[in-house]
Amino acid sequence: MTAKFQAFMILGALVLLLIIFVLLKRGKMTVKYSLLWLGLSLALTVFAVCPYVVFVLRDILGVEMPVNLVFMLMFCFVLLVLLSLSIALCQLAEKSKRLTQANAILEKRVRELEEKLSPPD
C-alpha cells in the first residue's frame, strides 16, 4: 500500500468518524444506530494505520487475497446494517399499529360520550 493511499484511507476514516459525531450532536442519528457506523470507522482507521492487520486476518480466515477479505467484511457490514434497519422498521410498524388501534378506541369513546352528552332532538 502506498503512503498516499494510506493517508487517503486514514483521512476518509476520520472524516466518516467526524460525520457520525456531527450527526449525533445535531440529533440526526441516535447512539443506538451510530454504533455500527462508529465500529466501521474505527475498523477502517485500524486497517489504514496498520495494513498488516488485513494480512493477518486474511491468513487466519484462510482468504486468498486481502481484497477479498475487505469485500467480505464490507458485505457483512452491509448485512448488519440491513438487519438493524429491518428490526427498526418492524418495531415502528408495530408501534404504528398499536397507535392506530389506540386512536380508534379513543375516537369511539369520544363519540359515545358526545352521544350521551348531546341533548335529544
Average pLDDT over residues 54-67: 89
> What pLDDT shows up at residue 51?
84
Average pLDDT over residues 108-120: 88
C-alpha pair distances (Å), 33 with each of 18, 26, 67, 121: 15, 14, 27, 58
pTM, full prediction: 0.70
DSSP 112: H
Condensed to tens digits (0 to 9), the pLDDT of residues 24-41 reads 999 998 888 888 888 888
Cα distance between residue 109 and residue 103, in whole Å: 10
Average pLDDT of the residues of the chain: 90
Cα distance between residue 45 and residue 47, in whole Å: 5
- Which of 57, 87, 49, 84 has the alpha carbon at shortest distance from 73? 57
CA of residue 4 relative to chain centroid, distance: 30
3-state DSSP helix/strand/coil % of the chain, to nearest 5: 85, 0, 15
Average pLDDT over residues 53-75: 89
Cα distance between residue 20 and residue 25, in whole Å: 9
